Structure formats: structure tokens, C-alpha cells
Structure 1
Amino acid sequence: MSDRPKNVVILGSTGSIGESALKVARDLPDRMRVIGLAANRSSEKLANQVAEWGVKEGCLADSTLLNDFKSRLPAGVTAHTGEEGLVEMATLPEADLVLIAIVGTAGLRPALAAIEAGKDIAVASKEILVMAGEAVMTAAREKGVRVLPVDSEHNAIFQCLEGRKATDVSRLILTASGGPFRKKPVAELADVTVEQALNHPTWEMGPKITIDSATLFNKGLEMIEARWLFDVEMDRVDVIVHPQSIVHSMVEFIDGSVLAQLSVNDMCFPIQYAVTWPARVANSLRPLDFAELARLEFEAPRWDDFPALRLAQRAGTVGGTLPAVMNAANEIAVAKFLENSLRFPKIWETVEETMDAHDVIDHPKLDEILAADAWAREFASGQLT
């Protein structure tokens, strides 16, 4: 074990994952040293974080707010901006680990740049592996760097698989809370409101990922992530609804045994393990009290009523540019729903229509992935005008 803390750059430090990562750094100063922070538009909040943590590098992705950001920074801090700024942050020479928690596609180029620079990456942004899982994992293998999962589900699988042979694994089982509409009759889904969809039963998250949890697209994206992170076929990635969100995922082995990872539903747990891996480190987080658990429930997801899982399974099986298209169309549809200009079931319909219209490119390069993403956004937007 190194005798110094791990130098960490956090891309997306003002969001919920970024704030949880800073909690971990505060709790474990001898293990994690924050050396760079980046955000999209939260100029004041990012500047306050830069000042609090004493970092010398900060990046505000939205260049229109750069002057405001600079005016708030302490003396001696280098301000970066735009996609190039995110790439510069991801490749800081002293960085050991880059935590990528940027919502949307903006984290893709920084992730690939970090890998190219020989940095381990901790991935919280689903879009990176959904859009470019093949490219990212191939590059990581070639450079000998690690792609560490931050999502609670994938981090759980990562823990369950440690020391196990890939040939011993039968299937990966992702758990899902089921979202706020788990028990709602399908006939009533057309009338759900934005406020209802944002009322997640177990996790506090940003609006986009909360809607994805309600549609189950969040779990669909995670299925594709798992396919690439753990190098398994899509038909070996399964989903089970677990409303308590205590069992974060499970691995079933060929002998019928199942290993599960359990903890209180706090994102600090998976973030800490991604940062401190392979070590386990004592912390101030609340441990699980089994005496307090009344019961742990499991049920099959409603595949027909919530088509996101089926669409994700299709996208992950076909591969190529189709996962990027699915992701982009979903982002457009969710944005429209959040504006109160789209009914809830139309999110699924828009994604499927966009996927059906796409000519898939196999083994795409980065520019082809981004072109497919742009095409899907334009097509989906056209369907909704």
C-alpha cells in the first residue's frame, strides 16, 4: 500500500455523486486527496469547493460563465473551461484516479483521455460505458489501467466477483428499487406527473436519473454497463426488483450459489471502495443493522409495462451504435417530460421509434459514436415536435 493519499480529480463535483465523493475525502483524508474539481454550470458552488479544498485546478465546462467563475476563484488557481478543459483536468500529471460523475455525454472524451494518459478512472456516468463500452474497455486493457465502477449496483458486483473466475459465473443480477410506480396499474401511467416521477422512494438523485429510475431506463443503462464492465453477454445480465435497496446486486455462480453485497443505501460506500480499492478502510458511515430490517423483498420486474429493460437488452445485444442511440433518444424524451410537454409512456415510445429508424454501425470509432448520438437527438426531437 502507498504511504500517501490517492490524488483524485472529480469531474462533476457539484452534483450528488460529486458531493458524496467530497464527503468520502473529508472522512478519509489519509486515503484521498482532492487535486482538481470540475462542474458544468454551477459557478459559485464550484468556486466555493475550490476554495474549501485548496485545489489549484478548477474547470467550469460552460464557457459562457468562465469570467464569473474566474472572478470567484482564490488567487493562484488555474481555471479551465469547455470540453478541452475537462480533458486537461482528466490528464493532470499528478492524478492517480479520475472520478467521472458528469451527467450525459460530456464525460466520454475526458474518460478516454484519462485512460490514454495512464490514469485509473472511476465511472459514475452511465453514458460512458453505454455509448462507448467497447472502446473504453479496449483502451483500458491496452493501457493497463483500471475502470472502477461507482454505481452502487456495479460496485456491488465488482466486490462479489473479487477473486472469482469468470468461467464460474452464471449470471449477474442487478437490483432495482422499482421506482415510484412499481405498483401503479399500467393504465394509469399515462397520467403520472413530473412531481410524482421525481418522488423516488429510496435515493436522492438529480432530476434526469430520477426519471430514468421511474421508467426503468436507469436499470436498462446499467445492464449495458455491466455487459462491458464485466465482459459478459447480455443474456447473462438479469434484473430483480428489490424495493428496500439494501441488497445492491448479486452474482450467481454455476453451482447455484449466490453472493450479494449489502449496505445502507448511501453512495459514499461504493465511492469509497472505488477510491480505496483494493483496501477496505474503516469510516464513519452508518453500518447495516440487521435487527432493524423488517424484511427484504424481491419481485420480478414488469417487463411488458416498463419496456425500458427490453429496449436496453436489445441495444446491448445488437451493440455497435445502437446503445448510444437509445441513450440519446431517452435524454431528449426525458427533457421533454420534465418540461411537462410529454406524457410518461411516450418516453419509451420515442426511444423505440428512434432505435427502429437507426442504421447500426458495428465496432464504431469515437466520431461515429458521437455522430450516432447527434443523429438520435435530432430524430427524437423531430418525433416530438
Structure 2
Amino acid sequence: MNEQHSAGRFETLAIHAGQEPDPLTGAVVPPIHQVSTFKQDGVGGLRGGYEYSRSANPTRTALEENLAALEGGSRGLAFASGLAAEDCLLRTVLRPGDHVVLPGDAYGGTFRLITKVVERWGVAWSVADTGDPASVRAALRPETKVVWVETPSNPLLGITDIALVAEITRSAGARLVVDNTFASPYLQQPLALGADVVVHSTTKYLGGHSDVIGGALVTADQGLADELAFHQNALGAVAGPFDSWLVLRGIKTLAVRMDRHSANAARIVETLSAHRAVSQVLYPGLPDHPGHETAAKQMRGFGGMVSFRVAGGEEAAVAVCDRARVFTLGESLGGVESLIEHPGRMTHASAAGSALEVPGDLVRLSVGIEAVDDLLEDLTRALG
């Protein structure tokens, strides 16, 4: 990265880190290197270290350098999906006989990957309330190698004190992995708080426009970064050039989008909290939300994800989802458009019947950047 942009505030790094103007044409946006292989100047004579796009591609390199800068890491790695990133990480740091601590409230895809795939390699897992230090300590075993945290969590918006859990994890000789998808690096930087690895679904807030699937890992541990890069190449689930370019384009506006997501969410929370059809609102910005003080300490803002429980039970919650119109019924999150979903039957169906099962009366919102009054009118109508 050019010395001019090697440091700076977040908004500047988002636009410039890893994205110097093209040296040949002066293009201010990195080109899409839609290519599988690169000409070599003699056997082993690589230009810029590029030989084959699974191993490295200039567009992906730009994204990876940008991600590392935003999270304050030494290296970023971009993948074909968030779960591909998680798979690479787990294959890198775990061996048969190892143990993983999962949060009691985790993304259903992560739960499925660990309990249906990783467990078959001989890796054990258990669940802890990562918002409670005593619960984390009780879950640790001599063979624990990874403590997995989501904060805010999906879909109950649970908050974990990253710095505190990092101390506990480090003393046990394990690695702390933080899924930072809900917060984005604009609102929270786990590496600075002691995490070993940050995970992202770049599909979500980083991409920001519901038009790309991707994932990322960022670490400040150069030795671990080298191991992850080896497995990234060996496993091959890398981000393609166009997908990398789309995520880079989204990141340029991340700061302004997150400000609007957060502002809209705060207004929606006010309305939901006063509505007779809502029995509980889950949002880190609420003073009575568990972990609110921790969130205020370690986050720049409270984000655009809101969950709430419907007073009439599961069928009433499903009906609210079905009646929404401006809020689109759909999975995923973090796009400019607002989404509504029923986690129990949609994103977290894989956790049904387990310790991670979510309440049937729960509705999850990904609050977009539309006119907030339109969103409020739509929700009020959907709630009846």
C-alpha cells in the first residue's frame, strides 16, 4: 500500500487501502483481473508473485489488503463464502481430539458446520454463554483449542466482552475467534481487543448490496496467517475476481451506510418497544439489553440488526413476516434494503431441537437505509 494511505482514519482506509490507482492507466478503481493464469518470465519468474488465480489474484489481493487495514490485522484472506472462511480456519487450527466452545446463540450455518461436519473429524464441542465469563471458564477443557464468539450474536443480539474473554481464552492456551459480521469493522475491531482471528461473511455489511457471496478471515498473527494462506490455497474456496471487486466497491461506503443502518434501527426500536403486539425487543442500544454497557464500551454504534418477540407466539410471528411489504421476507442481512425473517423456520432451522434452538416467537430484522418513516409504517401495519 502506498505510504500516503498506509495510515489514516477508518473512512479513508475503506476507500484507499489496497486500492492504489492502476500504474499503467491511472484508473482510480482497481481493475477486475478476470484471469485464471499469468505469463511467467521464464520458469519460476513470476510478475508480482502471480501465477494462478487460486493462489493469488490482484483483485483479491486488493480486497485482502483492505480488509487487513480495516480490522487492524497483518493479513486478510478472502473466500468464496463466510462458511468457506470458517471451514478453512477450523481445518487449520483443529486436530482430532480437540474441543471447541460455541456460544449459546450462534449462526445456524456455523452450528451446522461444527456439529455436522467438523465433529465427524473427531472434534468435540460444547456450548457456553459467552456473555458470562464464568460460563466460558466452565466450558474450557485441556483440549480446548477454539472459543468462538459472535458479538452481537445471531439472532438474539447477545453481547460478549471481547477483551475479557480474550484473557480467559489466552490463559487456557486456546484461540479466540470473533465473528464480526453483525458489527462490521466500522463499529467494532476485535483484534484490538485481544481476539486472535476475525471472521466475516462479506456477503453482509461489507458487500452491502445483496449481490455477492463472500467471506473473510483477518489476523494479526503472522505465523497463523501463513498457515491460513496455505490452507486457503490447498482447499481452494477463494473469492473470485468479480466478487472481490464487488466487496471492495461496497466497503467504500461502509461507514456512511452503517451510520444510516444504526440510526434507522434506533428509530424502529423505539416504535417496537411501545407496541402492544411486541413482548420483547432485543437490541444492544437499549439500556436494559443484557451487555448494553459492554456494547457501548467496545462498539462505535449499535448497528442495524434488531430482533423482537411477538406477543401472540410463533404463528403470530410468522404472520408478521408474511404481512411486511417494504421489509422483504428473506434470509441474509446487511444490504441497503430492509429484510425480515423468522429465524426458527429460516436461518436457524438447523439448530431446532438443540441447545441453540431459537424462540418460535422471534422475528429478526435487518434494517436497511430506506426512509425510516416508510419502514415504521410497514412494521406497524405488519404488526396489526
Range of TM-score over shorter length: 0.3 to 0.5
Select the structure that is richer in helix: 1
Q: TM-score, normalised by structure 1?
A: 0.32
Greater RCO, CA 8 A, separation 6+: 2
